[in-house]
Chains A and B, each alone.
Chain A
Amino acid sequence: MTPTTSAAGTAPKTYAWEIHASGLRVRVGRRKTAVDGLDLSLGIGTHGLLGPNGAGKTTLIRTLATVLRPTEGELEMLGTRVGAMVDHRSLRRQIGYLPQEFGYYKRFTVREFVEYMAWLKEVPKADVPAAVQRAVERVGLADRADHRMKTLSGGMVRRAGIAQAIVNDPAVLLLDEPTVGLDPAQRLRFRELLQELGRDTCVVVSTHLVEDVAAACSDVVLLAEGRLVFQGTPDDLAAAGGPEHPGDSPLERGYSALLQGCEQPGGTW
Chain B
Amino acid sequence: MSGEHASRRLLDDYARGDATMAADTVWALEAHLETCAPCRSHLAAGVATGAPGIATLLDTVRDALEPQLDAAVPAPSRRHRPRWVAAWLTPAMAPWLAMTVVVTLMALLLDAVAPPTFSGDTSPVSAIAPLLPLCGVAASWSRGLDPAHELTASTARAGLPLLLRRTTAVLVVVLPGLLVGGWLTGTMTAAQWLLPSLAFTSTALALGSVVGVTRAATGLALAWGVVVAPAWVTGHLPVVLRLVLQPDRLPVWGLLLALGTGAVIARRNAYSTL
Contact = CB atoms under 8 A, between A and B. Distances in A.
A99 B91 CA distance: 20
B154 A103 contact: no
A146 B80 CA distance: 10
A153 B92 CA distance: 22
Contacts of B159: 87-89
Contact of A88 (B86, B90, B91, B273): B273
A104 B151 contact: yes
A116 B86 contact: yes
Interface stretch (A9-17, A24-32, A63-71): A63-71
A159 interface: no
21 contacts: A67-B150, A67-B154, A85-B269, A87-B272, A88-B159, A89-B159, A90-B156, A92-B156, A92-B158, A99-B151, A102-B151, A103-B148, A104-B148, A105-B90, A105-B92, A105-B148, A107-B91, A108-B81, A115-B83, A117-B155, A146-B78
B41 interface: no
Contacts of B157: 119-122
Contact of A112 (B86, B149, B154, B272): B86
B153 interface: yes
Contact of B150 (A99, A109, A117): A99
B34 A1 contact: yes
Interface in A65-87: 65-69, 84-87
A224 interface: no
A93 interface: yes
Interface in A96-137: 97, 99, 101-105, 107-109, 112, 115-117, 119-122
A87 B161 CA distance: 12
Pick from B34, B86, B154, B159 the residue with the most CB of A within 10 Å. Answer: B154
A93 to B, nearest CB: 4
A206 interface: no
Interface of B: 34, 75, 78, 81, 83, 86-87, 90-92, 146-159, 162, 269-270, 272-273
Contacts of A218: none
Contacts of A115: 83
A82 to B, nearest CB: 9
Contact of A103 (B75, B86, B147, B270): B147
Given A112-B81, A116-B86, A97 B154 contact: yes
B167 to A, nearest CB: 17
A242 to B, nearest CB: 41
A179 interface: no
Given A86-B269, A112-B81, A120 B147 contact: no
A104 B87 contact: no
A117 B150 CA distance: 12
A257 interface: no
Contacts of A119: 83, 86-87, 157
A85 B86 contact: no
Contact of A120 (B92, B158, B272): B158
Contact of B151 (A89, A122, A164): A164
Given A67-B273, A87-B272, A102 B150 contact: yes
Contacts of B90: 105
Contacts of A89: 156, 159, 272
A156 interface: no
A87 B34 CA distance: 40
A67 B86 CA distance: 22
Contacts of B34: 1
A108 B148 CA distance: 12
Contacts of A120: 151-152, 155-158, 162
B147 A105 contact: yes
A197 interface: no
A95 interface: yes
A81 to B, nearest CB: 13
